Chain A
């Protein structure tokens, strides 16, 4: 049984439909990537899975249970965590306090504060810095760490590379195997196609709210991606 499964998922912003019958699955322990142009619906799909946007109850199925439309707090307690697009750290809190916010979900697991600092040693020195004073890369680490502190079974990462220098992006994605060592399943949304292909096992391409391509990341060709990405 897949860990995550979306079934004919339609996504709406108010009356405006953004997702059309999207079917995506993630098996336990997989890293899958969602690629597509701006506005294709990638972030919308993640927001629908984690409860920030509504959906039909059986539109999203997690570990066999229908969770579509449930409040985000309920979904995070079941084990899905989102690293939001643009980081969205709490500016009134320090780096460490941001990480501690993940503990409100009260889930047990390997990710404690110490585990996060081992994963991202650069954060340990900046733990008392206000979140707004951190560099882009450090903020991304805090955002990931904060999501990990909820000890999820499924981690959703929305555009980790946004606004970051390539060397920093590489640093962050290099940490991914260690993050997944305990069997965590990850869905990443990425604009950087090379990074997406390198890091994931399978990928989906979205175009105007529909899945236009899916396949093993290493075998999908550039030509296929171009076609699916732009629809030409």
Chain B
């Protein structure tokens, strides 16, 4: 019994990481209706950026990645804003294909760039033993400190995004531009700026996801597409445009995968895909869809 409880907890915590991968995707799709095929690659780029910066900061390994992350956040926002304003705004339109192709190309560029700079070997962000630490929960159960932390961050981010969208002026602007871009312009909103703010915000999330992911597991330049897939599945299961839905979608995916792993190591990811396909067949809009 304790075995199954432990499995469930691991699944939930893993789900937090998947939800983190998916948050940026959910945000961008909710506001811009754009599918960023390079989402996973940007996360890996974030991991490598934190890795390199942390190694050069000259502070103890326990603090280095966190400091690196804090330094990188404004850069990530600027990169997202710039990318949207200068590149992606030009390919957004009724046809979803141009943006898919452009982001796909970006993904390839990022993968190859990372491979050039870092070689194809998996790398790891030193976190001063954080990834080995665990917390005893009683009853013989223990959870990894880092997975728990990641889950906490995912919940906090989902709640923060939900609050931003429902209670702030910029949240109203995001929702209005997503509903009816033309009428939003009539209200004085510049959709190019609002879109760019959304992407900038999404890149903040990407940087956080990248940093945390790299502390938990080894990362390699070609890892991006797998992260895109998990994030995408989490968003579809949970429902596009709903951040709490994305969190739940991630958790469902994580639990499913871990249960699959328990039966057979080859079944983990596969079972997750099956649940994803079942959701597409039974309820394509996801559990809590907000975006039409």
Contact = CB atoms under 8 A, between A and B. Distances in A.
A binds B: yes
A76 B172 contact: no
A90 B175 contact: yes
Contact of B176 (A50, A93, A150): A93
B180 interface: yes
A105 B182 CA distance: 15
A84 B176 CA distance: 15
A81 B188 CA distance: 10
Nearest to B30: A92
Interface in B137-179: 169, 172-173, 175-176, 178-179
B190 A73 contact: yes
Contacts, number: 62
A50 B173 CA distance: 20
A88 B189 contact: no
Contacts of A73: 185, 188-190
Interface residues of A, number: 25
Interface string A61-87: 000000000011100110001101000
A129 interface: no
A90 to B, nearest CB: 4
Nearest to B182: A52
A105 B185 contact: no
Give the secondary structure class of B's interface. Answer: helix
Interface residues of B, number: 19
A197 B189 CA distance: 35
A150 B188 contact: yes
Nearest to B177: A90
A146 interface: yes
B172 A93 contact: yes
B188 A106 contact: yes
A36 interface: no
A102 interface: yes
Interface in A96-149: 97, 100-102, 104-106, 146
Given A82-B186, A93-B179, 14 more contacts: A50-B186, A71-B190, A72-B186, A73-B188, A76-B187, A88-B183, A90-B175, A90-B176, A90-B180, A90-B183, A92-B175, A100-B172, A101-B176, A104-B173
9 contacts: A52-B182, A71-B185, A73-B189, A84-B183, A90-B175, A90-B184, A91-B179, A101-B173, A102-B187
